Amino acid sequence: MIDFKTKIAQELEKVVQINEKELETYIEIPKDTKNGDYSFPCFKLAKELKKAPQMIANDIKEKINIEGTGIEKVEVIGGFLNFFVDKKVLAREVLNEISSKEEYGRSKIGEGRNIVIDYSAPNIAKPFHIGHLRSTVIGGALSNIYKFLGYNVTGINHLGDYGTQFGKLIEGYKLWGNEYDIDKDPINELTKIYIRINNLCKEDESVLNACRDNFKKLEEGDSYCTELWEKFKSVSLKEFQKVYDLLGSKFESWNGEAFYSDKMPEVIELLEKSGKLVESQGAKIVDLSNDGIDTPCIIIKSNGSTTYATRDLAAILYRTRTYDFEKALYVTSYEQVLHFKQVFATAKYLGLDEKYLNGLKHIPFGMVLLPTGKMSTREGNIIKLEDLLNEAIERAKEIIEQKNPELEDKEETAKKVGIGAVIFNDLSNNRVKDEIFDWDTILNFQGETGPYIQYMYVRIKSVLEKANGVPNIKEVNVEKLDDSYSQDILKLIYNFEDTLVAVTEKEEPSILSRYLIDLAKAYSSFYNENKIMVEDKETKDARVYLSYATAKVLKEGTALLGMEMPNKM
């Protein structure tokens, strides 16, 4: 497919004698399509050429050769040089590409490049609650998109299966284990024990010390503590898998914190050799004040046990050696911003290659809030994610019963709509924003929601059925797609791969969500303004094929977010 931006940069280079790669970074896409499809701001050249931007724009317009570039015309508006793509060329390029590729937009730009994505990471023996949803779906979407662009991706579920919380749980089990039926309802019963022991720790310092001692014993391999820990982990993973099955989540690695327990001594040894590990109030820390971080990174607590930071540093060492990554992304809430600043700054003292240090990136996201505020397992104020997903499916089923009671496969459709609605709601806004969970917004079939995109896809499937299938691309006359509504769709489809690249540049799945809403809206306008089943066969075939192309991109785009499309609603 013609890369119009590159073509423009190549022709500009011949006129202004600046490298085409640099020129390409200057080229913009105007917000108002009346100002063209691409725009080159000549302000960038004013200082070097010692001319007014508009004079520069007029000079370039006179000299530039657009023949064979797919550009129809060039206009000067103020200090901008505006380029208009030939409508027929755009339509032909897009539809030919759609017809020739099973997966439109898939590319090899990431070939030979390794990406590690650390996401989801629920805590063992605690409910998989709505707060874990964001990490799971943001990380899942990034993983899908990187893979689609040809990268070698390792998705890691860094389970919270270690730490003082297990010391607390072991102590609670010692005290009251016979009061709870762990085998019958594992997570709920373990949560009750955790809340109860946590409250007791607040009242009695000696109980908290006993919990800390339990974790130290666990680190040292105590058989009783290890046996209990393994039981807690086993029952938890079975429960978590139910949620992952509903969301369609898959991981290449399930190595949690405990996996790094025998790899931490090397971290401590390397930090000691660097001279950065110092004692402070009985603990061992790394002072990061020279890195602009006031809070030190604690490596060993005063009671001799390790910390999250120690295990994260061991994980970094292991991942550099195992995956040789270009980027290692950590998808967690913005509450952990300081933690990852400390860990990444401390990683410099492990003797790692600069390329690995530069590849470490924290991808923070806002909280999922209830209307009453923040959730907490300790306070018992949570919504379990499995319950929420099943509730979404039930609510979707009720809407289907009202709107289309005769629909076949209601159960399967309700699952796709309900789960898709929850996923899209989470990915539709900038990830750093807090999200208040609101059912009425999530399951709305109008507006900027997952069900709206699914509904538009189903509408297109209906159009294709009425047309008795998709015409052969060789029979499509692209000149029949020169109206503004058709062109708006074609421009969006043309930009699909660039949109995916933009997601990876900013680690921001909402860029794709926004794109899919724009495409669905553009098709709605096209559908309302252009009759498709017309008598003129050429017009009908062209509009049917454009409908097919739209459906294809909507399905591919939503699949990358983790959604499934129903065939009917």
Q: Are residues 81 and 176 in the same domain?
A: no
Of the chain, the percentage scoring pLDDT greater than 90 comes to 80
Sign of the dihedral defined by the CA atoms of residues 47, 16, 3, 37, in that order:
positive
Domain of 414 in residue numbering reads as 385-561
Q: Are residues 178 and 228 in the same domain?
A: yes
pLDDT at position 440: 74
Would you say residue 380 has pLDDT above 60? Answer: no
Tell me which of 47-56, 110-119, 514-523 is least confident.
Answer: 47-56
Q: Are residues 357 and 427 in the same domain?
A: no
Q: Are residues 14 and 125 in the same domain?
A: no
Close Cβ partners of 383 (under 8 Å, ≥ 6 residues apart): 129, 130, 370, 375, 437
Average pLDDT for 22-26? 92
Is 98 among the domain residues? no
Would you say residue 376 has pLDDT above 70? Answer: no
Q: Are residues 365 and 389 in the same domain?
A: no
pLDDT at position 44: 83
Q: Are residues 466 and 407 in the same domain?
A: yes
Tell me which of 284-298, 380-394, 420-434 is least confident.
Answer: 380-394
Is 376 among the domain residues? no
DSSP H or E stretch at residue 354: helix 354-359
Average pLDDT for 256-264? 93
Q: Are residues 273 and 241 in the same domain?
A: yes
Average pLDDT for 134-144? 97
pLDDT at position 443: 77
pLDDT at position 523: 98
Is 569 among the domain residues? no
Q: Are residues 348 and 257 in the same domain?
A: yes
Would you say residue 378 has pLDDT above 80? Answer: no
Which one is predicted more confidently, 457 or 162? Answer: 457
Which one is predicted more confidently, 182 or 85? Answer: 85
- Two tokens at 133? 């949803």
Q: What is the spatial distance between Cα 56 and Cα 49, in angstroms, rounded to a whole number?
A: 8
Is 231 among the domain residues? yes
CATH code of the domain in which 63 resides: 3.30.1360.70
- Count of structural domains, the chain: 3
Average pLDDT for 343-353? 97
pLDDT at position 382: 64
Average model confidence (pLDDT) across the chain: 93
Q: Are residues 292 and 335 in the same domain?
A: yes
CATH code of the domain in which 401 resides: 1.10.730.10
pTM to 2 decimals? Answer: 0.92
pLDDT at position 162: 86
Nearest alpha carbon to residue 77 among 24, 31, 40: 40
Is 112 among the domain residues? no
CATH code of the domain in which 364 resides: 3.40.50.620
pLDDT at position 516: 98
**Which pLDDT band holds residue 309 (cuts at 50, 70, 90)?**
very high
pLDDT at position 263: 95
pLDDT at position 387: 85
Is 114 among the domain residues? no
Bridge partners (DSSP) listed for residue 154: 116
Q: Are residues 174 and 288 in the same domain?
A: yes
Instruction: Give the DSSP per-residue string, 496-528.
Output: HHHHHHHHHHHT-THHHHHHHHHHHHHHHHHHH
Q: Are residues 138 and 282 in the same domain?
A: yes
Close Cβ partners of 31 (under 8 Å, ≥ 6 residues apart): none
Q: Are residues 127 and 25 in the same domain?
A: no
Average pLDDT for 220-224? 92
Would you say residue 27 has pLDDT above 60? Answer: yes
Residue with tokens 């699949």: 559
pLDDT at position 34: 86
Tell me the backbone φ, ψ of residue 152, rounded to 5 degrees.
Answer: -90, 110
Task: Examine the fold and report which residue of 63, 85, 107 is the final residue of a domain before the chain moves on.
Answer: 85
Is 100 among the domain residues? no
pLDDT in tens, 460-483: 999 999 999 999 999 999 999 999
Task: Examine the fold and report which residue of 85, 108, 135 is the final residue of a domain before the chain moves on.
Answer: 85
pLDDT at position 373: 58
Nearest alpha carbon to residue 64 among 82, 91, 89, 88: 82
Average pLDDT for 252-275? 95
Residue with tokens 């120690």: 310
Would you say residue 374 has pLDDT above 80? Answer: no
Is 530 among the domain residues? yes
Give the Å distances, CA to CA, from 476 to 90, 95, 492.
14, 9, 19
pLDDT in tens, 41-97: 999 888 888 889 999 999 999 999 999 999 999 999 989 999 999 999 999 999 999
